[in-house]
Chains A and B, each alone.
Chain A
Amino acid sequence: MTNTIGDIEKADVILITGSNTTENHPVLSSFVKRAVKSKGAKLIVVDPRRIKIARYAHKWLRPNLGTDVAWINGLMHVIIEEGLYAEEYVASRTVGFDELKKTVAKYTPEEVEQITGIPAQEIIDAARLYAAAAKGSILYCMGITQHTTGTDNVKSLANLAMLCGNLGIEGGGVNPLRGQNNVQGACDMGGLPDVYSGYQRVMDPEARKRMAAAWNVAELPDKPGLKVTQMMPAAHDGKLKALYIIGENPLVSDPDLNHAEKSIGNLDFLVVQDIFLTETAKLADVVLPSACFAEKEGTFANTERRVQRVRQAVDPPGQAWADWKIISAIASRMGYPMTYESSRQIMEEISRLTPSYAGISYDRIEYEGLHWPCPNAEHPGTPILHKEQFTIGKGVFHGIDYLAPAEKADEEYPLYLTTGRLLYQYHTGTMTMKTGGLNAIAPECFVEISPRDARQYDLADGVRVRIASRRGSIQARIRVSDKAVSGTVFIPFHYAQAAANRLTNAALDPISGIPEYKVCAVKLSKAA
């Protein structure tokens, strides 16, 4: 997030898109709801499903799946056309406005209605509402990024925020909501194929030299590695021979699971390090038992870049070890002694080698976490990014055209499928499915379908159906719901027995490598 969670309550208008906030970030959603109910903020929700947060919205726009660039361009078209943009901000802090203006000129509200299904007048009203606010906050999640045009979608939102002068101010920002406790930290720490901790690029000879010296090795590899979504095809083709998977369950969470299973099966050696014998761990050659969050010391970085402490409350079960201890032991046995004695000692090394974490230490975050960038021990942290100027100097507008999703519904597969999470389960369910009460409320997979589609396909609530895509099929019960909009069904991806990801499309965004989980074509039939 460019801004903080607390900042949401300072916004005059909040635009939420591609985020089922009340279910996936329940506590953060309360900041939005309070802003609306008690502080007079206006709320615009743009989502293909009539999700719960839409109940609190002044405007709910319902786009066709995968048409985000089009509606965002539509809003900017209206804002520029009506002269509602932040002229001074655009002039002094950005470049590329003319390119943007040229691109969005084509996206008249009528044109956008054709693509997105959002009535032209709604586009105009939403544009005016967002642009009229002194402080506008944009919140988005995987509904924006999990598309073949995910990067374009995010850039378009950044365009919109800059156009209205909403980046770098309190109560504004473009705020991605991170879905996992430490997805921010995993990125910050260099758990990515092209960067070391603090986003220092592996292609940069200076950075490479610095890290090699600090790590006491002669040299470090200079070309970026494979993304997770490239590792599976590489395994499939026999180029990747071994995989070491820590705390992930790709055999439920990957797209096009049938393909992923074959890829994993093709490996010479698979090590899985986890707290449970997950679907993925069952295929491993060696399984290493690790400690869960309650059994170790450390830090997580939350969605607002706040680095917070994790503390040990109980002992790990049996012989389980903290992950850092296991990794260090393997390194040592491979002739590279890693002799850390505590997580604190590792954090000291992180601060030394990571400019954005340089001022972060356990002593400083004992009571309250700090937002990175925090370049030195006196620095108070950075709750709001881009305040004086953007990291790269001026903010760059990108003129971006709409591209259709990779897969279209057709006669054979007439319905669109989108996937996501439920309030009562979490990701692949390895943790939440151990709590009886959560299972009692959300026991099994279902297909959410609109009342009209249910009538059309003659499917009653609770009936078992087979859902098939071009890649696979699963069975689940029908749930007729007002949340669904005709033509689109929704399936939660938590349940391994009826894994939605047997259906999803592994087509990737060319830049981020994120799969298009949010759009594919399916058909329904009554289960035999």
Chain B
Amino acid sequence: MSEQDLIVINGNEFSFEPGETILEVARRHSIDIPTLCHLQGAVPTGACRICVVEVQGARTLVAACATPAGRNMIVQTESAKVIQARRMVLQLLLSSGNHNCAVCGSGGGNWTEYQLKVLQAEDSDELCPVWGDCRLQELAFRYQVTGEKFEAAVTPYPMETANPFIVRDFSRCIQCGRCVQACNEIQVNQAIHFGYRGTATKIIAAGDQPYINSDCVFCGECVQVCPVGALVEKEARYRVRPWQNKKVRTTCSYCGVGCQLYLHVKDNRVVKVTGVEDVPPAYGSLCVKGRFGFDFIHSPERLKTPLIKENGEFREATWDEALDRVAGKFEAIKAQNGADSIGVLTSARITNEENYVAQKFTRAVLQTNNIDHCARL
């Protein structure tokens, strides 16, 4: 390794690949540079300025997400100047809208008054729906700032609830642009964009229409990447608090792509689904069915007991009774008409293990190869 390939971050030397950003080098070495707008897989915009770092000899602080690592560059990621800048960015973001989560007491202002003011302006009587699961709140805590330094801006745009899946609360939007990038660069649905100018800036769909009237296909990638409470799943909003859930990682049960997902479980019920980032095949992306189509799990129409038909009507039965009936009938039909008079349709919906057991049962127990499934249908 030649000396030219080295960058110094917080006093330690690291090698880097040509084109790698300061942020990428730092992350590779577990140096935590905070980010807000940065989105894996999208072109860095440097919009939020949270990731600023101090580079020796540079005129100003630079955005680590958008600045390529340079040879012999000397970088400080948490210098006094950097922290001061981040605090300022956070104070501005916190006062840009309805962010009633700031760390109590840390700014010395009147917390109660601030909370009351925020509650008046909102359509809800609770704290932010993502309280405890918000990147902005997390950073406000880390850098001990509140939104009291500047007067809070009032958002002129009303909340959008006109679709079945996603609530868009513009009062909590910090215009980091992650949703726009997710929609255009990750899912490439090209449904949402930055609209208007200056203080009137708003994330818009189809010339400022509700999602439901736009090209939006409700993949929910925008919700997944939203670092604040501006985009939230409608069903989970205010019904689920992040600390009340356990997350179980599994594989989606719809199409054959096999997206990895987290089932968020509260009281033995799946209440929300999110994509698992950083793992193939989908790296966190999901579609409308995978993300929102899980109500069937707890549908009251689920079958709960074995059923046996008698005189054309179903009646509930015990497992013992049902299994005996099935085993007895199969044996009788096999004895009378031969094994090949029985067929099994296994399923493209059940697990490998279950399909294996189904074919073993068909071949070893029923003694026929009459087994197939709906791959053809």
Contact = CB atoms under 8 A, between A and B. Distances in A.
A455 interface: no
Interface in B263-297: 263, 265, 268-270, 279-282, 285-290, 292-297
Given A4-B281, A275-B303, A309-B250, A186 B355 contact: yes
A86 interface: no
Given A191-B346, A285-B308, A346 B357 contact: yes
B184 to A, nearest CB: 8
A424 B270 CA distance: 20
Interface string B295-327: 111110111111111000010010100111111
A75 to B, nearest CB: 27
Interface stretch (A89-97, A426-434, A464-472): A426-434
Interface of A: 4-6, 22, 24-28, 30, 33-34, 37-38, 56, 177-194, 196-197, 202, 211-212, 215-217, 220-221, 223-229, 231, 234-235, 239-248, 250, 253-255, 268-269, 271, 274-277, 281, 284-290, 292-296, 298-304, 306-315, 317-324, 326-331, 333-334, 336, 338, 340, 343, 346-347, 349-350, 367-369, 423-424, 426, 430-432, 434-438, 440-441, 512-515, 517
A194 B363 CA distance: 11
Most buried by A among B164, B324, B368, B377: B377
A239 B251 CA distance: 39
A318 B368 CA distance: 33
Interface in B339-366: 339-365
* A-B residue pairs, 9 tightest by C-beta: A318-B304, A437-B164, A302-B258, A178-B256, A298-B351, A225-B369, A247-B347, A33-B188, A289-B303
B-side binding surface: helix, strand, loop or mixed? Answer: mixed
Contacts of A431: 253-254, 293, 296
B263 A243 contact: no
Interface residues of B, number: 109
Nearest to A56: B188
A302 B250 contact: no
B257 interface: yes
B256 A246 contact: no
Contact of A314 (B254, B260, B265, B337): B265
9 contacts: A22-B217, A180-B349, A182-B355, A190-B356, A191-B359, A240-B343, A302-B257, A314-B268, A320-B303
A215 B360 CA distance: 8
A242 B290 CA distance: 35
B352 A246 contact: no
Contacts of A338: 357, 360-361
A221 B248 contact: no
Nearest to B219: A26
A243 B342 contact: yes
Contacts of A225: 340, 343, 362, 368-372
A371 B80 CA distance: 49
Given A242-B343, A243-B343, A338-B357, A30 B351 contact: no
B165 interface: yes
Contacts of A22: 217
Interface stretch (B29-37, B152-160, B328-336): B328-336
B372 A193 contact: yes
Contacts of B134: none
Given A242-B342, A286-B309, A426-B289, A189 B356 contact: yes
Contacts of A440: 164
A231 B370 contact: yes
B257 A27 contact: yes
B165 A324 contact: no
A294 B352 CA distance: 15
B358 A246 contact: yes
A302 B349 CA distance: 11
B376 interface: yes
Given A30-B187, A182-B352, A268-B333, A224 B369 contact: yes
Given A228-B377, A247-B348, 20 more contacts: A27-B281, A30-B186, A37-B188, A178-B256, A180-B349, A191-B359, A193-B371, A202-B363, A225-B372, A228-B376, A244-B344, A248-B345, A293-B349, A300-B251, A304-B281, A308-B260, A323-B358, A343-B354, A426-B293, A438-B289
